[in-house]
Amino acid sequence: MNNIPKIILASKSPRRQELLTLMDLDFRIVLKEVDESYPDDLAPEEIALYIAQKKATAFDETVTDEIVLTADTIVSIEGHILGKPETEEHAVEMLQILSGKTHQVITGVCLLYKHQYHSFYEVSEVTFRQISETEIRHYISKYKPMDKAGSYGIQEWVGVTGIKKINGSYTNVVGLPTERLYSELIKLIATL
């Protein structure tokens, strides 16, 4: 589609894989271990970009004619970052923090192509209705959202029953802002 080169997706996220498939992009998955720590003084948008770029840097020496796509999604509420939960109780605490409030989901994306880095981020605002502890515990025990920032997947039960409003890209909340990604890919190949 539009002569976009084959993509190396540096993510084990099945949601990102599904989104790229829906975009009709040709890709393969290559994983590299990367330390996802970041400096304490970064704003939420900077954190997502910093980690996405750090992931891309791991591929710089082995890059070919494929585009390396890395991404990092974070959840931010009132200046606090909610990463992936460490325990089920931690997941309960996170969802209690999000319950009845609006938070931001920020995805930083880095495209590495022929040793050139092209990065961007997308922000979506998500508003949850008030969710009871019983509902939260049901969701966590059934869906095990331990691999998700903020302890939830918008495409799962808590998303379809608990989210009142989204301002911005839905696919960004899933883990990859597909419309913006497609536009950036077209721009990238046009400039090289």
Percent of residues, the chain, with pLDDT higher than 90: 88
Q: In which element (H, E) is residue 102 found?
A: strand 102-113
Q: Which of 26, 35, 65, 72 is catalytic?
A: 72
DSSP of 6-39, one letter per residue?
A: PEEE----HHHHHHHHHTT--EEE----------
Q: In which element (H, E) is residue 70 found?
A: strand 67-77
What does the pLDDT read at residue 59? 92
What does the pLDDT read at residue 65? 86
Residue range 28-64, pLDDT digits in tens = 999 999 999 999 999 999 999 999 999 999 998 877 7
Q: In whole angstroms, what is the distance from residue 98 CA to residue 65 CA?
A: 42
DSSP structure class, residue 116: E
Read off the pLDDT of each residue in 147-168 and give the average, rounded to a whole number: 95
Is residue 117 classed as helix, strand or coil in its secondary structure?
strand
Domain residue limits, the chain? 7-191
Q: In whole angstroms, what is the distance from residue 52 CA to residue 168 CA?
A: 20
Ramachandran angles phi, psi of 118, nearest 5°: -130, 115
DSSP of 83-146, one letter per residue?
A: -S-SSHHHHHHHHHHHTTSEEEEEEEEEEEETTEEEEEEEEEEEEEPP--HHHHHHHHHHH--T
- Architecture label for domain 7-191: Alpha-Beta Complex (3.90)
pLDDT of 89 > 80? The answer is yes
**Tokens 């903020």 label which residue?**
150
What does the pLDDT read at residue 119? 97
| 72 is known as an active-site residue | yes
Read off the pLDDT of each residue in 180-192 and give the average, rounded to a whole number: 90
What does the pLDDT read at residue 74? 94
Read off the pLDDT of each residue in 174-191 and give the average, rounded to a whole number: 94
Which pTM was predicted?
A: 0.93
Angle at 123 between CA 122 and CA 126, to 5 degrees: 140
Cα 172–chain centre separation: 7
pLDDT of 1 > 60? The answer is no
What does the pLDDT read at residue 2? 67
What does the pLDDT read at residue 62? 78
What does the pLDDT read at residue 159? 95
Percent of residues, the chain, with pLDDT higher than 70: 98
